[in-house]
C-alpha cells in the first residue's frame, strides 16, 4: 500500500479543523432532534457503502487537494 493514504490524511486534517468540528456538532444536534432519521440511516447499510464508494472513487482528487493545501502552507 502506498505511503500516501488520502483518507488518513483527510482524517488528520479534519481533526485539526475547527470549522469541520463545528459542522459535526451541528449534524449531531440535528440527528438528536430527528432520531427517526438517524435510526433509518443506521438500518440502511447501503448509505455507509455509498459513502465509502465515493471516498474510494474520489481518493485521487482528495490526495491532489491535500497536496495543494500542503504547498499553500509553505
When divided into structural domains, the chain yields a total of 1
Q: Please report whether residue 1 resides in a domain.
A: no
What is the pLDDT at residue 18?
85
pLDDT along the chain (74 residues), means of 10: 66 81 84 86 77 73 76 74
* DSSP for residue 3: S
| pTM for this predicted structure | 0.45
CA distances from 25 to 6, 32, 56 (A): 23, 11, 25
Cα gap 35→70, rounded to integer Å:
39
Enumerate the H helices of the chain as residue ranges: 6-15, 18-33, 35-43, 45-57, 59-73
Residue 30 lies inside a defined structural domain of this protein: yes
Domain assignment present for residue 18? The answer is: yes
> How high is the pLDDT of residue 33?
93
Q: Which domain holds residue 34?
A: 6-73
Amino acid at each position: 500500500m502506498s505511503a500516501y493514504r488520502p483518507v488518513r490524511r483527510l482524517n488528520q486534517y479534519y481533526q485539526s479543523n475547527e470549522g469541520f468540528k463545528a459542522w459535526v456538532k451541528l449534524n449531531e444536534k440535528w440527528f438528536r432532534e430527528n432520531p427517526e432519521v438517524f435510526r433509518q440511516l443506521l438500518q440502511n447499510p447501503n448509505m455507509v457503502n455509498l459513502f465509502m464508494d465515493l471516498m474510494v472513487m474520489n481518493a485521487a482528487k482528495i490526495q491532489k487537494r491535500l497536496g495543494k493545501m500542503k504547498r499553500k502552507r509553505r
